[in-house]
Chains A and B, each alone.
Chain A
Amino acid sequence: MSRRNTTFRGLATGWLLGLLFVAVFADFLANDRPLIAKVGDEIRFPVLHDYGRSLGLVAGYQPLVRNWSRVETEWAVWPPVPYAAEASDVRNGNFKSPFDAQETGDRARHYLGTDALGRDVLAGLISGARVAIVVGLGSVLLTLLIGVPLGGVAGFFGNEGLRGPRYHWWGWTVGGTLGVIYAFVCLFPFFGEIGGPAQFLLVVAAFTAFGLLLRLALRLIPSMRKPMAFPADTLILQGIELFVNIPGLVLLIALLAIIDRPSIWIVVLVIGVLGWPTIARYLRAELLRIKQLPYIEAAKVSGIGRWRTLFYHALPNALGPLLVISCFGIGSAILLEALLSFLGVGIPSDQVTWGTLLRYSQSQPTAWWLAVFPGLLLTGTVLAANGLSEQNNG
């Protein structure tokens, strides 16, 4: 039994790592530009060069080559799949099966067929892997970013752990909220178009300034100086309960359908924000257990600060189980992304993903290769993620 489990775990880890590899090196695996090509006297690295250009490190090649498949090169090293996901191959349009006769000339065949516009399905799968990994990792990271502090504080401090004078808690919560509102209502228009990071800094600055100010002001009122425990556990639990009642998928569809400029980052944002209660609830339970362990008591006795105890000693102990839950989260986020792009909401219309390939297959049921291959990849990923989280749990 255990040997089979190890084999399975190896397979699942291998699958996910392979997916990560494909996602990272997608441009080198499927592209309509050669990796290295000798044009005239010059040796060019068209794919690598694009990265440099988008980072602003190098200038574009002169003369510009738009369609590499028509260029006479002395020699060229092409990616394994010499097609880009979004580029259509006009001569092989209208759903060419993997086994059909294809008019590709000297270029490689479309190994897994094409869709209506002649876009290569294998290239689409590779670009879809990138979208899946971005959404899966991105949204889980966001979920962790929100869920870990909230769940950690709720579990570790409970309702009685955070003590301080009233003005401290009221000042920071009310003042901070007011500061954020002020940043949105007044500071953003005043500073005009300054870009996202600067706006984020403005929000943080306003939060701090207003929080500090109100804290100082409230300190003058005598009744505000009484000590008070911050009911972190109750507040966060109520928040979780409120969030859990939101019908996720339905709201997602309603939300994404109204966005006029879809992008995968919005999908990441929405899935991540809706997912935090699972992590927070789990971590809270985990920390309630860890809190009782003797080494935390020892840390307390030896005078280590409580926040330090939480982040350096208690949270790392909960890391293993958290990773398991995150693994499951990655699987379900990828599934959700595929579902959304299958429905055609949230993902830009020219982006090829596993879900969009499945959607195209509906318009042409005979094109089985459009339906089967993305589904197999999706199933494999979900199985790997589910399996890993389960094996570790049991």
Chain B
Amino acid sequence: MLRYALRRIALLPLSLLLLSLLCFGLRQMTPGDPVRRLLPDTESRQSDDDPAAYDRNYRQAARSLGLDRPPFYFSIYNAALPDTLHRVARPEERAMLRALTLQTGNWPAVQNWYRELRRLAYAGEGAAVKTSVAARQLLVRDQARLVNNTLNGMPVGPDRERLTGLFTAIYSSSRRAALLLPAFRWNGADNQYHRWLGATLRGDFGASLSDRRPVSAKIGRAMRWTALLNGLALLLVYLVSLPLGLYAAGHRGGWFDRVSTVLLFLLFGIPSFWLATLLSNFFTTPAFGMDWFPSLGFGEIPEGASWWTIVKIRAAHLFLPVICLAYPGWAYVSRQLRRSAGKELDQAYVKTARLKGLSRGRILWVHVFRNASFPIITMLGGILPALLAGSVVIERIFHLPGMGELIFTSALKSDWPVVITLVLLNGLLTAVGLLVADLGYALADPRLRLNAAKTNAV
């Protein structure tokens, strides 16, 4: 048992590490430029007036985000590519260099082309405006046809001829055989992943890309609401399903049992986001004259309100979302309880209790309940992640500013610091929940322990 628990606990950080790698990989693959969002709008206007200054600012911003470092501890790449490609600050230019080199294998020619383009694009007063604009366009073009179009559109002159010469050189002396060699490079600890992981472990989750506020503050505020919502939902799940399941088990085959089984089965099949949409369409809008509940947020508490007013306001806002979060749990928990209590009722001790003359209710609610409830309590571990996932949709439908809403809006805006932190947090909660549930089962049921020992031995 101890070995099993230790193994599970040891696996937990490994899981989270894997999840962090997955998130980090996703971030690397995301299109979009975090640096440009960091620079204020005035500066992106500057990119047309004074490209050289903008380029300087851009590089500085990229350095401040640590983007001039290699992404990971090691890199495996095509030997035709240079090992310092990550030092090219802009992702579009990096993509262009990579694409051209992987088409031809001719890095020296691509490098000459890139240098000349950068000279023309960011030379300041030296180059004509039109040439500079065309060069900046060429810096992000990686298809020969488009490049040739742009080159033909440039004003005739020495610049255009030099560029055309450099571009044809890339394709004329193609070295495709070089593409067949792979290369491996050890980058050491000074990389983006290491820095990010270190900061995360220290509790510094960075700042949101969309409004520069610290991620921990944003999540903290949202988490309060989600915790309230899910706490109430969890309470409601157990308050309803425990009596329901136990009563059904005690009167197996009776009309209540049959009706509740069918009803719960139907209820379990109704997708909660559909019911939530219906409820929010019917009861939070004036569409059908039943505008009974507020449609947005958790409500404003007026200054100096009595506790009764606060409860009333909050209840009006929370009633529908909590119901929608809780009802799938009713079916799930009460059916489990009915099953486990049904097994207990067949045990000898129930017969003993009945022979002793105890009332049916007392046997059910005191003796059977205690034995049947342990799996139900450990089921909490499984319910918690489901509730969190469910709150993404419910919070969205009822316009509540909780964690689900936060992760959804941040993902749409590719606000990676927030998304990654939330995914990791969610992974941690899921893993801890499952761990607690598994260990709880094992603790509760000695047979499980014995079985585990037996299978290990075989």
Are the C-beta atoms of B176 and A190 separated by less than 8 Å?
A: yes
Residues of B within 8 A of A288 (CB): 455
B144 at interface, CB cutoff 8 A: no
> Interface with B: A52-60, A102-110, A302-310, A381-389, which one?
A381-389
> Smallest CB–CB gap between B259 and chain A, Å?
13
- Choose among A182, A244, A251, A257 the residue that contacts B414 (Cβ–Cβ < 8 A): A257
By the criterion of a CB under 8 Å from any partner CB, how many residues of chain A are at the interface? 48
Please report the C-alpha to C-alpha distance between residue A371 and residue B15 in the assembled complex, in whole angstroms.
40
Please report the C-alpha to C-alpha distance between residue A41 and residue B216 in the assembled complex, in whole angstroms.
73
Contacting residues of chain B (401-444) with chain A, CB-CB under 8 angstroms: 407-408, 411-412, 414, 419, 422-423, 426-427, 429-431, 434
Are the C-beta atoms of B407 and A382 separated by less than 8 Å?
A: no
B385 at interface, CB cutoff 8 A: yes
A381 to B, closest residue via Cβ: B269
A217 at interface, CB cutoff 8 A: no
Please report the C-alpha to C-alpha distance between residue A345 and residue B266 in the assembled complex, in whole angstroms.
28
- Choose among B180, B271, B393 the residue that contacts A186 (Cβ–Cβ < 8 A): B180
Are the C-beta atoms of B76 and A365 separated by less than 8 Å?
A: no
B15 to A, closest residue via Cβ: A245
A257 to B, closest residue via Cβ: B411
A231 at interface, CB cutoff 8 A: no
B160 at interface, CB cutoff 8 A: no
Residues of A within 8 A of B396 (CB): 343
By the criterion of a CB under 8 Å from any partner CB, how many residues of chain B are at the interface? 64
- Choose among A186, A241, A244, A374 the residue that contacts B181 (Cβ–Cβ < 8 A): A186
Are the C-beta atoms of A182 and B182 separated by less than 8 Å?
A: yes
Please report the C-alpha to C-alpha distance between residue A251 and residue B22 in the assembled complex, in whole angstroms.
10
Are the C-beta atoms of A242 and B26 separated by less than 8 Å?
A: no
B308 at interface, CB cutoff 8 A: no
B176 to A, closest residue via Cβ: A190
A63 at interface, CB cutoff 8 A: no
Residues of A within 8 A of B408 (CB): 253, 257, 343
> Smallest CB–CB gap between B9 and chain A, Å?
12
Residues of B within 8 A of A339 (CB): 271, 273, 393
Are the C-beta atoms of B19 and A246 separated by less than 8 Å?
A: yes
Are the C-beta atoms of A186 and B269 separated by less than 8 Å?
A: no
Contacting residues of chain A (369-394) with chain B, CB-CB under 8 angstroms: 371-372, 374-375, 378-379, 382-383, 386-387
B103 at interface, CB cutoff 8 A: yes
Check A250/B269 contact, CB under 8 A, given A189-B102, A361-B277: no
What is the 8 Å Cβ interface bit string for chain A, positions 289-326, against chain B (1 contact, 0 not)? 00000000000000000000000000000000000000
Query: Most chain-A CB neighbours within 10 Å: which of B30, B105, B277?
Result: B277
Please report the C-alpha to C-alpha distance between residue A257 and residue B408 in the assembled complex, in whole angstroms.
8
B11 at interface, CB cutoff 8 A: yes
B266 to A, closest residue via Cβ: A383
Residues of B within 8 A of A254 (CB): 23, 26, 407, 411, 419, 423
Are the C-beta atoms of B411 and A258 separated by less than 8 Å?
A: yes
Please report the C-alpha to C-alpha distance between residue A371 and residue B276 in the assembled complex, in whole angstroms.
11
A19 at interface, CB cutoff 8 A: no
- Choose among A247, A342, A368, A375 the residue that contacts B385 (Cβ–Cβ < 8 A): A247
Check A250/B277 contact, CB under 8 A, given A181-B76, A343-B393, A386-B268: no
Closest 4 CB pairs of A and B: A383-B269, A375-B274, A365-B287, A257-B411
B interface list, Cβ under 8 A from A: 8, 11-12, 14-16, 18-19, 22-23, 26, 29-31, 76-78, 80, 102-103, 105, 176, 179-182, 265-266, 268-271, 273-274, 277-278, 280-282, 285, 287-288, 385, 388-389, 392-393, 396-397, 407-408, 411-412, 414, 419, 422-423, 426-427, 429-431, 434, 455
19 intermolecular pairs with C-beta atoms under 8 Å apart: A185-B76, A241-B11, A242-B15, A242-B18, A245-B16, A245-B19, A245-B427, A245-B431, A246-B19, A247-B427, A248-B389, A254-B407, A338-B271, A358-B273, A372-B278, A375-B274, A379-B269, A379-B274, A386-B268
Please name 8 further chain A to chain B contacts, defined as beta carbons within 8 Å, in addition to the given A257-B411, A382-B269, sorted by A numbering.
A185-B77, A247-B427, A247-B430, A254-B407, A258-B411, A343-B393, A345-B411, A362-B397
